[in-house]
Structure formats: structure tokens, C-alpha cells
């Protein structure tokens, strides 16, 4: 599923809420500042402080994300997340974070956007965007 330029800008410029769950279905949602699309199908999310989120993704890679200002970007992004603790994607995350603050990221999370749903109140709420 491909994100539009408008969706990509909203993810990059806004805080996002990032939801994961344990293998047996206990949900967890956290606000994340370091999230940005790296292309129209992948969102980089940086693990600086994650605990439950990281543990959940190790056991259950399925995640969902919405932007804080859902009035501007009324979409829900869903897909599997891969964890990188070395390599180019991790190095890119380190460069991004260390340019902004003095913190060494623990990991880079890469979400492959598999499905996008509308959360716009009204007749399209919950419908998959095609
Ligand atoms: C405004 C804001 C931005 C945040 N950005 C990040 C971030 O980019 N990366 C990160 O790992 N944690 C970030 N956090 C911390 C997480 O929201 C959360 O506290 C952390 O993942 C631990 O929760 P967990 O155990 O549920 O994973 C941010 C928190 C706030 C309030």
C-alpha cells in the first residue's frame, strides 16, 4: 500500500501514536516523535526509550500508527515492523537522532505499510483506502 505525499508529510512532521500488542493481545500505545517515511511504503520509527513496544515487536511484528493531528491526516497505517540494531537503517536512525539530541538510539524499527484505513468520521470511517 502506497502512502501519498500528503500522508508522508503528516507522518514526518507530526507526533504519531504507535500501537503494538503482546503475542496474546494486550495492547500498548505510545507517542513517538522520531517517525518518518523513508519511501512511500516504509516508515522509520526510532527506538530511543522503548520497553513494552520493543518487547511486543520482538514477539508480534504487527503494529498500527496514527498521526496526532488526525483532522489533517485522518488515516490509520498498519503493517509489520522489522527491528534493526545494526546496518544502514540503524545507522540512518543514529544519524537522524544524534543530529537532534545527545541520545544514542537503541534500535531502528521499520514498518512496511501494508494497509491504510480512513478514520475520517462519516461514511468512510474504517474503510480501507485503495
Ligand atoms: C512527545 C513524546 C515523544 C516521544 N518520542 C519518542 C521516540 O521518538 N522514540 C522513543 O523510543 N520514545 C519516544 N517517546 C517515549 C515513548 O512514548 C514511551 O515512553 C516509551 O516507548 C516507553 O513506553 P513503552 O514501554 O510502552 O514502549 C516519546 C514520548 C513523548 C511524550
Nearest atom of ligand 1 to the alpha carbon of 49: 11
Q: What CATH superfamily is the domain 5-118?
A: Electron Transport, Fmn-binding Protein; Chain A (2.30.110.10)
Report pLDDT digits (tens) over 64-106: 999 999 999 999 999 999 999 999 999 999 999 999 999 999 9
So what's the pLDDT on residue 1? 81
Cα(123) to centroid(ligand 1), Å: 33
Report pLDDT digits (tens) over 4-33: 999 999 999 999 999 999 999 999 999 999
121 lines ligand 1 (CB under 6 A): no
Once rounded to an integer, what is the mean pLDDT over residues 47-56?
98
- Asked if residue 80 lies in contact with residue 62, where contact means CB atoms within 8 angstroms, the answer is yes
Q: CA dist 48 to 54, 58, 93, 95, 103, Å?
A: 10, 16, 10, 13, 7
User: What ranges do the domains of the chain cover?
Assistant: 5-118
Tell me which DSSP letter residue 44 carries: E
Cα(14) to centroid(ligand 1), Å: 14
Nearest atom of ligand 1 to the alpha carbon of 30: 17
Amino acid at each position: 500500500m502506497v502512502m501519498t505525499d500528503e500522508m508522508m508529510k503528516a507522518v514526518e512532521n507530526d507526533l504519531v501514536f504507535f500501537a503494538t500488542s503482546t503475542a496474546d493481545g494486550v495492547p500498548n500505545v505510545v507517542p513517538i516523535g522520531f517517525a518518518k517515511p523513508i519511501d512511500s511504503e516504509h516508515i522509520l520509527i526510532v527506538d530511543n526509550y522503548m520497553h513494552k513496544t520493543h518487547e511486543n515487536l520482538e514477539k508480534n511484528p504487527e503494529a498500527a500508527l496514527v498521526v496526532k493531528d488526525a483532522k489533517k491526516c485522518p488515516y490509520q497505517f498498519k503493517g509489520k515492523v522489522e527491528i534493526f540494531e545494526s546496518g544502514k537503517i540503524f545507522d540512518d536512525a543514529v544519524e537522524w537522532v544524534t543530529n537532534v539530541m545527545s541520545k544514542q538510539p537503541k534500535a531502528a524499527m521499520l514498518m512496511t505499510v501494508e494497509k491504510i484505513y480512513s478514520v475520517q468520521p462519516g461514511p468512510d470511517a474504517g474503510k480501507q483506502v485503495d
